[in-house]
Amino acid sequence: MHKTFLSACLAGTILAGLAAGAAAQQLVTTDRVGSPDAPNVLTMRANPNQSPNNPSPEQKAAFEKVWQAFAEAHPDWQIQFEFFGQDIGSEHARLLEQARAGRAPDCVTVDSFQLALFIKNGALKPLDDFFSQEEIDDLFPFIRDGITGSDGHIYAWWWGTDLRVLYRNTEIVADAPETWEELQNAALEAAESGVEGVLFNGGRWEGTTFDWLANFWAQGGQLVDEDGKPIFGEGENREKMLRAIDYFKGLVDSGAAPQRVATIKDYNDFNAAAIAGSAAMFFGGHWQYFQLQEAMPEEAFAKWDVSELPGPTADERATGTGGWTIAAFSDDAEKIEMCANVMREVYMGPANEVIGDLPTRESLFASLPKFQDPYFDKLKDYLVNGRARPGVPIYPEISNQIQIMMGEVLSGTKEPEAALDGAWNRVMDAYAKM
């Protein structure tokens, strides 16, 4: 009995020792990459899904392999992660305050449309030395413009982009609508059969502005001039704005879209409607294709197809392109270099394959195995009409006012002209103070 007890204690001690050893050797945890004993520390803030803390088990497992390779290649470094919360706008505002006070993390994933704030405030370090001219020239033009400061230096690496597309249940809407009119007719016909014709973001969040702006851009509309001054409420741009507002208002007023679109502020609502079979079409992000594929039975998913967002005419098309960048906030040359290594070795390619965000370099789009698929071929064609949000400090307020304007119009509180005038006046008041 005594021997048995001693043997059990010994076995337990050995197992505990092995487990402790394994934990000590673990190079990738949810908030650390590299050995905890590594002498050099790089602090990094990221969205959870762009880190080893990715909530999807499949992506997390794939990402861990990428980070493991990175940790093994840089044994003297450990990366300590912090994570952004849900409210990206306020998270970036806080980050700017931290950068001013010299307390920002060394390396941060920054939302592409917020990048200009940090460049213009001198919070970022130039990265020209870490990327070849060939790599920079290989970027899609709107990507290159987005990361280049007014002094010609590049201040971040925009590694992944996305775009908005029209999803449709082909059993209800067989042919892809190419124009606004075709979309409304198809949605009305679908609504008559008892489903919601078309869904889109209309609540108070960035997605509402961004998804809808494609309709303004498709007409050639400009939000700001070359100096970053808002011009969307004047002259031809005002007319184009009104046409784009009338388009969405017409969808709701005619019953092609339900009134509840004024409350939608999450792309997951579209997934839920598609899975429930309660909607015929929706304007969504390209990444939802994989979410639906994962969540729906094969035969149900086979009914869904993706096409380019309709335009006022079939020849006038645009789609909003977003995505994420990585920027170096540190003053330490070694940390800046390590941040650039993270950009190159983890995000430039490997992260695209893990997360599904589209590569921003044409050669990577053409060579990475994941993107050699008919679905991505289609997206690459749509990217030709891709438009990024202007990288100007006034954009967040323009977006805020467009969200309010859309809510007022879609809920019938205000007519489009009055709502647009309200948004324009408030944006100009804010611009005057900048």
Partner 1 sequence: MSQDAAVGAASRTGSRHKKAWHLAERPLVWLAPLTLLLFVTYVYPAIDVIRYSFTDATLLNPEYAYTTDSFKAVIRSPDLPGILWVTFAFVVASVILQLVLGLLVAMALHRGVRRRLPGVSVVRIIILSAWIVPGVAAGIVWQLMFNEASYGFLNAVLRGAGLSPVAWLSDPNIALWSAVIANVWRGTAFSMLLLYAGLVVIPSSLYEAASVDGATALKQFWYITLPQLRPILLINTVLISIFTLNTFDLILPLTGGGPGRATEVLALYTYNTVFRNFDLSNGAVLAVVLLLISIVFTLIYVRLLPREL
Residues at the interface with partner 1 (CB under 8 A): 87, 89-90, 93-94, 96-97, 100, 117, 120-121, 196, 202-205, 258-263, 265, 269, 272-273, 276, 278, 393, 396-397, 400, 403-405, 407-408, 410-411, 413-414, 422, 426, 429-430, 433-434
How many CA atoms, within 13 angstroms, populate the side-chain half-sphere of residue 395? 23
Least CB distance from residue 205 to partner 1, whole Å?
A: 6
Least CB distance from residue 414 to partner 1, whole Å?
A: 7
Least CB distance from residue 417 to partner 1, whole Å?
A: 15
Distance in Å from the first CA to the final CA of the chain: 81
**How many residues belong to the chain?**
434
Least CB distance from residue 136 to partner 1, whole Å?
A: 28
Between residues 25 and 86, which has the closer beta carbon with respect to partner 1? 86
Between residues 278 and 367, which has the closer beta carbon with respect to partner 1? 278
The answer to whether 200 and 212 are in contact (CB under 8 A) is yes
Which residues are within 8 A (CB) of 169 and not within 5 positions of it... i.e. 6 or more apart? 274, 277, 279, 280, 281, 303, 304
What is the rounded radius of gyration, in angstroms, for the C-alpha atoms of the chain?
A: 24
Between residues 35 and 411, which has the closer beta carbon with respect to partner 1? 411
Between residues 61 and 418, which has the closer beta carbon with respect to partner 1? 418
Between residues 384 and 418, which has the closer beta carbon with respect to partner 1? 418
Least CB distance from residue 93 to partner 1, whole Å?
A: 5
Buried-state track 84-116, b at ≥16 Cβ within 10 A, e below 16: beeebeebbeebbebbeeeebbbbbbbbbbbbb
Task: Specify which residues 279 forms β-bridges with.
Answer: 196
Least CB distance from residue 69 to partner 1, whole Å?
A: 37
The answer to whether 100 and 123 are in contact (CB under 8 A) is yes
Q: Look-up: residue for tokens 């079939």? A: 314
Least CB distance from residue 273 to partner 1, whole Å?
A: 6
Q: Which two tokens stand for residue 291?
A: 């979410």
Between residues 65 and 100, which has the closer beta carbon with respect to partner 1? 100
Q: Which two tokens stand for residue 346?
A: 């983890």
3-state secondary structure of 173: coil
Between residues 96 and 242, which has the closer beta carbon with respect to partner 1? 96
Least CB distance from residue 88 to partner 1, whole Å?
A: 10
DSSP code string of 136-148:
HHTB-HHHHHHHB
What does each C-alpha distance from 312 to 100, 195, 200, 206 come to in angstroms?
44, 25, 17, 23
3-state SS of the chain: helix, strand, coil percent to 5? 55, 15, 30
Between residues 363 and 425, which has the closer beta carbon with respect to partner 1? 425
